[in-house]
Amino acid sequence: MAVENQGTALDAVNSHSTRTLLRTVILFLIAGAAIASRLFSVIRFESIIHEFDPWFNFRATKYLVANGFYKFWDWFDDRTWHPLGRVTGGTLYPGLMVTSGVIYHALKALTVPVDIRNICVLLAPAFSGLTAFASYLLTNEMTTSPSAGLLAAVFMGIAPGYISRSVAGSYDNEAIAIFLLVFTFYLWIKALKLGSMLWGAVCALFYGYMVSSWGGYAFITCLLPMHALVLICMGRYSTRLYVSYTTWYALGTLASMQIPFVGFLPVKTSEHMPALGIFGFLQFIGFIQYVRSAISGKQFQTFLATLVIATFGIGLTGLVALTSLGYIAPWGGRFYSLWDTSYAKIHIPIIASVSEHQPTAWPAFFFDLSMLIWLFPAGVYMCFNDLKDEHVFIVVYALFGSYFAGVMVRLMLTLTPVVCVAAAIAASQILDSYLSVETPTEAEAEKSAEAAAKKPGKAGSLRGSEKPVIGVFSNVSKLSVVSAMTIYLLMFVTHCTWVTSNAYSSPSVVLASRMPDGSQHIIDDYREAYQWLRQNTKEDAKIMSWWDYGYQIGGMADRPTLVDNNTWNNTHIATVGKAMSSREEVSYPIMRQHEVDYVLVVFGGLLGYSGDDINKFLWMVRIAEGIWPDEVKERNFFTERGEYRVDEGATETMKNSLMYKLSYYNFHTMFPPGQAADRVRNVRLPSQGPVLNTLEEAFTSENWIIRVYKVKDLDNVGRDHAAVAAFERGQKKKKAAKKAGPRALRVD
């Protein structure tokens, strides 16, 4: 008997070890799939940094690696925002750069030859594998199903909603931040379930890492207090909640305040007040619980009523007073736009001008989440079946994540983790039910039938004479449902692969098109132009362009810029917008005042590239109008019929603007007379193009996407630029000849 028990125990241990090993192998395969699915851009193009913001992050990382952490911390960059400069070390989230630097130095210490560029390019795919593992851990805290965590890891690893910001070359803050977001949530649930200060401290540590990496840390800062508040309102206050939240908030806030860019914001800004308020509320509840155990019931009720009224009155008065005195800053523009989607467009156009700050179109949810969007509500519903504290977190996260993803397309990134977790719970429930191979024995069936017969039925109801069937035991039903789920999962993988390959794996600095024979044609105008600037201009030549291209110019061309993607100074950006939207006579003094040497514009009229500056031009006008409403007026760029046009019907203000002239200068020479056409706007252009007086064309890329103009110096002999330009075009002014008077008869 003892031998049999020992054998049974060994079998159980071996079975458990086998399952653990198999689960580990599957997780590694999932991580490999997550990494591999993000390498399309490297295979098709090359190892290159994508988009706009990643170029600054790459440049900052190179500075960190070359000069060390302390110089990086105190870095003042005089090659951006000319002539103001930027205190770079104190105005960025350093987590991404420090992570890359640590990996670089670790590999260097191991004598592994690696270029910092390759680390930056491959960092996001590497962290995607960790994010899949974090999703597995978080889901395992929600359910006992072993398959739910693995499904969540698969979903998170290949979901387009996450891949969109984590492909190879996407060296942005989200590359590591989404892993930290999911892992912090896992640690929070772990701390809450155990009531452990240790887990709360680890949660605070990773929260501090998250704060150093991405401004989206405010999502955690607001979501965890909301979860705690909901639990309190549900009557679920416990010492576990008190210990976990108090530990997280105290240590996490101290950790976040070590980041110079954050500083004292956790105790001075409105978006951080909910976390502080819940922290104080928990102390209040803890004090009440202590007093209740010390005094009688009647005295406690009187004491409680007095304390609640006094605390509420003092707290509200203090909050209003501190806000009115300026000690607590109001909500920022981006946060206001989450509650009022029209706020930014009316009050802060520069926020509304960013495409990722626009409301999300409904098709984007299916595009980025595929079939998960249908399983997501089912998973949230299943959380209500066993509504524990951790399930409440998923419900709260799903509710707020869905709202924020609906009002700002960028926040689809924060919704994706909870969608993957909830969808995995629903999918695992279906598969676990229909993949079970167990069938009831005759004795079990008879026992269940007797139990059912003993239950009293409703009056007038009919009772079946057959034995009840418990569970799903029909092979046909199992095969049908499992086959359908398998097809859905295969379609999900196919959709994710297609979206990743075709929509999210093209670096914005390198474009691609298809030739008639189906071969790929590379359009490399951006790098061509930036290389020209790097090789043919002085090192201190100042480049004026719209702020979208500032980071790329600094990263690839290595030239000083007036504005860039940091957008910290709205007036400086409005100055560039005013220069672009004004006549040359107004723009030239602005450029001279800011020591501009070259002006760069993006134009897609020849190739059909829709992301050009003419399509962005109205945002330049709106931002400039916000500072100079009397000098720049948006309505002057629309026709009497309210049309925004660039052809013969364009307004004189539009035709005379610097942006219009720089875009269409000499464009008509590419076509037969009278046939010049803009392929983006689909209009026929005037037969005679605009004339430039204060600038001269310096460079135009192969496909006319990038155009660079040199700002002319003042004339040596004091002539105005219009006269000089007319002279150079051969329109020399003829001197007026003296008219001969009447011929007089000479009399000697």
DSSP tag of 602: E
Q: In the predicted model, what is the mean pLDDT of residues 283-307?
A: 74
Asked if pLDDT for residue 453 goes beyond 70, the answer is: no
Q: What is the pLDDT of residue 476?
A: 82
pLDDT at 313: 76
pLDDT bracket for residue 10 (50, 70, 90): low
Query: By percentage, how much of the chain surpasses pLDDT 90?
Result: 63
Mean pLDDT (whole number) for 486-507: 92
pTM of the predicted protein model: 0.87
Domain identity same for 546 and 419: no
Q: Which of 598, 542, 601, 553 is nearest to 577 (CA)?
A: 601
CA-based nearest residue to 292, from 308, 282, 304: 304
Residue 311 lies in a domain: no
The pLDDT value recorded for residue 513 is: 83
pLDDT tier at 410 (50, 70, 90 boundaries)? confident
Domain boundary residue, one of 384, 413, 429: 429
Which of 404, 429, 454 is the last residue in one of the domains? Answer: 429
Both tokens assigned to 738:
């003296």
Which of 594, 598, 587 minimizes the C-alpha distance to 529?
Answer: 598
Is 157 in contact with 36 (CB distance < 8 Å)? no
Residue 489 lies in a domain: no
pLDDT at 167: 95
pLDDT, tens digit, 9 for 90 and up, residues 501-525: 988 988 889 988 888 887 888 899 9
Q: What is the mean pLDDT of the chain?
A: 86
Residues 535 and 659 placed together within one structural domain of the fold: yes
Q: Mean of the pLDDT values across residues 464-469?
A: 48
Instruction: Write out the two tokens for 606.
Output: 């020849």
Stretch 604-616: mean pLDDT, rounded?
A: 92
Does residue 223 belong to any structural domain of this protein?
no
pLDDT of residue 717: 74
pLDDT at 618: 94
In a domain, 46, yes or no: yes
Confidence at residue 748, expressed as pLDDT on a 0 to 100 scale:
45
**CATH number for position 655:** 3.40.50.12610
Asked if residue 389 and residue 532 are part of one domain, the reply reads: no
Q: Are 215 and 357 in contact (CB under 8 A)?
A: no
In angstroms, the CA 60 to CA 212 distance is 15
Decide if pLDDT at 650 tops 80. yes
Burial class (CB in 10 A: 0-12, 13-18, 19+), 117: middle
Q: What confidence tens digit (pLDDT) does each residue in 39-63 have?
A: 999 998 889 999 899 999 999 999 9
pLDDT of residue 1 exceeding 60, the answer is no
From residue 115, how far is each of 47, 110, 121, 307 by CA, in Å? 11, 14, 10, 62
Asked, for residue 581, whether it belongs to a domain, the answer is yes
Q: CA angle, corner 350, sides to 643 and 86, nearest 5?
A: 145
- 30, 157: one domain: yes
pLDDT score at 339? 61
Q: Are residues 682 and 579 in the same domain?
A: yes
Cα separation of 193 and 257, whole Å? 27
Distance CA 507, CA 685 (A): 31
Looking up tokens 């049999």 gives: 4
Model pLDDT, residue 176:
96
- Whether 711 and 563 share a structural domain: yes
Domain count, the chain: 2
Q: Per the domain annotation, does 11 fall within a domain?
A: yes
H/E stretch holding 498 reads helix 475-502
Between the CA of residue 656 and those of 238, 368, 573, what are the distances in Å?
69, 42, 21
Helix or strand holding residue 521 (H, E): strand 520-523
pLDDT the model gives residue 720: 76
Question: Rounded to whole angstroms, how far apart are CA atoms 93 and 174?
Answer: 11
Residue 291 pLDDT:
76
- Rounded Cα–Cα distance for residues 616 and 603 (Å): 11
Single-letter residue type at 698: A
Residue 309 has pLDDT above 80, yes or no: no
The count of other CB atoms within 10 Å of the CB of residue 373 is: 16
Q: List, for residues 247-256, the tens digit of each pLDDT value.
A: 999 999 999 9
- Confidence band of 562 (pLDDT split at 50, 70, 90): very high
**Residue 216 falls inside a structural domain:** no
pLDDT tens string 318-372: 767 766 766 666 666 555 566 666 655 666 677 666 767 788 888 999 999 999 9
Q: 690-730, pLDDT tens digit by residue?
A: 999 999 999 999 999 999 999 999 877 777 777 777 777 77
Q: Which domain holds residue 542?
A: 524-728
Residue 360 belongs to some domain of the structure: yes
Based on the domain organization, do 412 and 554 belong to the same domain? no
Average pLDDT over residues 167-185: 95
Whether 551 and 693 share a structural domain = yes
Of the candidates 267, 268, 245, the one whose C-alpha atom is nearest the C-alpha of residue 254 is 267
More confident: 583 or 460: 583
Using the predicted structure, report yes or no on whether residue 93 has a pLDDT greater than 50: yes
The confidence band for 742, taking pLDDT boundaries of 50, 70 and 90, is low
- Identify the bridge partners of residue 359 per DSSP, sorted by sequence position: none
Q: Are residues 22 and 151 in the same domain?
A: yes
What is the band of 464 on the pLDDT scale with cuts at 50, 70, 90? very low
Same domain, 529 and 407: no
Is the bond preceding 83 in cis, omega lying within 30 degrees of 0? yes
DSSP labels for 274-309? HHHHHHHHHHHHHHHHHHHTTS-HHHHHHHHHHHHH
Structural contact between residues 343 and 333, judged by C-beta atoms closer than 8 angstroms = yes
Predicted confidence at residue 325, as pLDDT, reads 67
For residue range 127-153, what is the model confidence (pLDDT) as tens digits?
Answer: 999 999 999 999 999 998 889 999 999
Are 390 and 529 members of one domain?
A: no
Do residues 720 and 582 share a domain? yes
Lowest mean pLDDT among 74-88, 231-245, 462-476, 613-627: 462-476
- pLDDT category of residue 461 using cuts at 50, 70 and 90: very low
